[in-house]
Structure 1
Amino acid sequence: MRNSGPLPLDNLFNNNTFLTIQERSKALYTLNNLVHKLLPDNLCQECRVANYRQGILIINVSSASWLTRLRYEQEKLRSLLRQNGLRGLTSIQFKVSLELNPTNNCILHSKDYDLAKREITLQSADLLLALAQNCSPKLKSNLIKLAKHATKIDNR
């Protein structure tokens, strides 16, 4: 098993570790540029090369919908990468990475969002009760339970 414990900072600069990291990052940067040249323009903005190891290229994608779109380009991309010098490439894996998504700051991912602060207004409760009158018994009971949350908030 690999030793992954902390090492003194001197080890980073005394041996070739720092140089190896630098060369690896340059290689991934070059590979990322190559992938972006081979993909259609709209896909380039939604992905980046994360790693290349043992013939497997890992590409991070901003969302599941872009991942699906990239899967259609997977075989073509693999073929083009092999033609452009990446002869050892055996497969491409895609992984969704939310940090690539610029709309990641939605309310559910916001640090200020608190589930306990969600409130149902009295008007919404009235609409839910009216809707419950014409529903199946199971849905009716669930809508009534949901509408009761508004009254709990107002009775505080």
Structure 2
Amino acid sequence: MRDSRPHLIDSLFSNPIETSQESLSKIQHQAIALVQLNHAVNMLLPEILRPWCRVANFRQGLMVLETANASWQMRLRYEEAKLLSTVRIQILPSLSSIDIRINPVLAKKQALHTQDDDSDRHCLCLLGGQSRHLSLRSAASIRHVAAQSEGKLKNVLERLAKLAEDSPEHMPSPKIEASPDL
């Protein structure tokens, strides 16, 4: 049965070896261990996978890795056997398997981390530093679909179509007039 009595604050910060209860220090030690494991595993991953993957947990010989989406999950699965053997040799001999899960929050965090202040208004940035600009023709098609849509979808499509207008390649260039003094 769960022990739901109030506890003294001192007992929460006590040494986890002395008490059998979950204490804050035990949680803190596990969090520190996960951060260190995440850093070590990150160094073993190919550079392209590093921003899209993190160690979520390690328990009973199972390391849980989180990745941003299914495509990164597939890439990570290709590396799984190599990663498992390397981690066993270098870091965790008790590791028996790796579980790879998708966590979409990683994609959002990475997108926020990599975007510049206003760059997302006019281009979609890719991994290689390339950018894609929305053409005026595509924007017109998106506006047509938005006109037939309702609510949230309509708002999102209109914002997407507006990216073409805000794009620097579609902005009119400033005219430079020659001064009559010359």
TM-score with structure 2 setting the length: 0.53
Per the TM alignment, residue 13 of structure 1 is displaced from its structure 2 partner at its CA by 3.1
Aligned to 1:87: 93
Question: Pairwise mapping of residues 48-127 of structure 1 onto structure 2 (< 5 A)?
Answer: 48-102=54-108, 103=111, 117=151
Is the Cα contact below 8 Å between 2:14 and 2:25 reproduced in 1?
A: no
Per the TM alignment, residue 36 of structure 1 is displaced from its structure 2 partner at its CA by 0.4
Query: Which residue identity lines up with residue 93 of structure 1 in the other structure?
Result: D
Aligned to 1:154: none
Match of 2:49, SS state, is helix
Aligned to 2:35: 29
- Once the two structures are overlaid, the 10-residue window that deviates more, 61-70 or 4-13, is 4-13
Aligned to 1:112: none
Pair 1:30–1:118, CA change in 2 (3 A): closer
Aligned to 2:178: none
Per the TM alignment, residue 54 of structure 1 is displaced from its structure 2 partner at its CA by 0.6
Pair 1:117–1:70, CA change in 2 (3 A): same
Aligned to 1:131: none
**Unpaired runs of at least 5, structure 1:** 105-114, 121-156
Q: Larger helix proportion, structure 1 or 2?
A: 1
Offset from partner CA, 1:65-105 (integer Å, 9 cap, x none): 0000000000000000011131111100011001101359x
CA–CA distance in structure 2, aligned partners of residues 31 and 119 of structure 1: 41
Query: Which residue identity lines up with residue 13 of structure 1 in the other structure?
Result: F
Pair 1:69–1:119, CA change in 2 (3 A): closer
Aligned to 2:125: none
Pair 1:116–1:34, CA change in 2 (3 A): same
Percentage identity across aligned positions?
A: 38
Query: Which residue identity lines up with residue 13 of structure 2 in the other structure?
Result: F
CA–CA distance in structure 2, aligned partners of residues 72 and 6 of structure 1: 48
Per the TM alignment, residue 64 of structure 1 is displaced from its structure 2 partner at its CA by 0.7
Q: CA RMSD in A?
A: 2.7
